[in-house]
């Protein structure tokens, strides 16, 4: 199914939460309000004509200029071989997005990674721990304003360049 048709189906059921955007280059996406993401995803997965059975990718994105964080969902349907991009905006401070773990189990680890590297909290997640970095690490490195801590357990995190 083409993007416009999928969008029409989504908007038919969720008139106030879905809008669309077309970038100059790349795939168009649907913007969904954070509160509705779980319902929209369940609908996309279960609707026979859409059947987005796979969350192929979930990614964080820091849009510093617009002062917001985004979670980007790349969905794919093995049944119908079509794809869809969803985006959820969240403020940089107190970033909270409901988890879609109950819709696709693959989201469990993907959301842990976003939490670890962007500091976006996924509410109702069953196991929201850091995944890449140590549990006592300070900060979320993929945020644009991230400043690395100077020491970690007495170990310096920087050193003089060897090229002097």
Partner 1 sequence: MGLQEYDIEVERDGLDTEEMTLNMGPQHPSTHGVLRFVVKADGEVMRKATPDVGYLHRSIEKIAEKVGYHGFMPYTDRVDYVAAMFCNQSWAMACERLAAIEVPVRGEYCRVVAAELNRISSHLLSAASMTLDIGAATPFFHAFREREKINDLLEELCGARLTYNYMRIGGVAWDLPPGFVEQTRAFLDDFEPALAEFHDLISGNKIYVERIAGVAPTSAARAVAYNLVGPNLRASGVDFDVRRDIPYSIYPQLKFAVPVGRGEVGTIGDCFDRYIVRMREIEQSVSLVRQCLEQMEPGPVLAKVPRKFRPPVGEVYVRVESARGDMGWYVVSDGSEFPVRCKIRTGSFAAMSMIEELSRGLMLADLVAVIASLDIVAPEVDR
Does 48 bind partner 1 (CB under 8 A)? Our answer is no
Separation CA 66–CA 63 (nearest Å): 6
> Per-residue string for binding with partner 1, 107-146, x by CB under 8 A?
-xxx------x------------xxxxx------xx----
Does 149 bind partner 1 (CB under 8 A)? Our answer is no
Does 24 bind partner 1 (CB under 8 A)? Our answer is yes
Tokens matching residue 32: 């969904």
In the numeric block, the tokens 């976006």 are attached to 120
Separation CA 79–CA 8 (nearest Å): 20
Hey, which bits of the chain come out as E strands? 19-21, 29-31, 54-63, 68-76, 83-91, 96-98, 121-123, 151-152, 155-156
Q: Contact region for partner 1 (CB under 8 A) — 11-19, 20-28, 91-99, 154-162?
A: 20-28
> Judged by CB, which is closer to partner 1: 12, or 65?
65
Residues that bind partner 1 (CB under 8 A): 23-27, 53-57, 59-63, 72, 74, 78, 81, 85, 104-106, 108-110, 117, 130-134, 141-142
């Amino acid at each position: 199914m083409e993007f416009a048709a999928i969008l029409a189906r989504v908007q038919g059921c969720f008139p106030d939460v879905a809008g669309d955007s077309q970038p100059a280059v790349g795939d168009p996406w649907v913007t969904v309000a954070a509160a509705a993401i779980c319902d929209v995803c369940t609908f996309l997965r279960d609707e026979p004509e859409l059947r987005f059975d796979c969350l192929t990718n979930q990614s964080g994105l820091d849009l510093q200029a617009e002062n917001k964080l985004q979670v980007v969902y790349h969905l794919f349907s093995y049944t119908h071989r079509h794809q869809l991009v969803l985006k959820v905006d969240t403020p940089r401070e107190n970033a909270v997005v409901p988890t879609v773990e109950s819709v696709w189990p693959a989201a469990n680890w993907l959301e842990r990674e976003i939490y670890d590297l962007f500091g976006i909290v996924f509410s109702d997640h069953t196991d929201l721990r850091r995944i890449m970095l140590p549990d006592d690490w300070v900060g979320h490195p993929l945020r644009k304003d991230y400043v690395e801590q100077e020491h970690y357990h007495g170990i310096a995190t920087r050193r003089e360049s060897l090229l002097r």
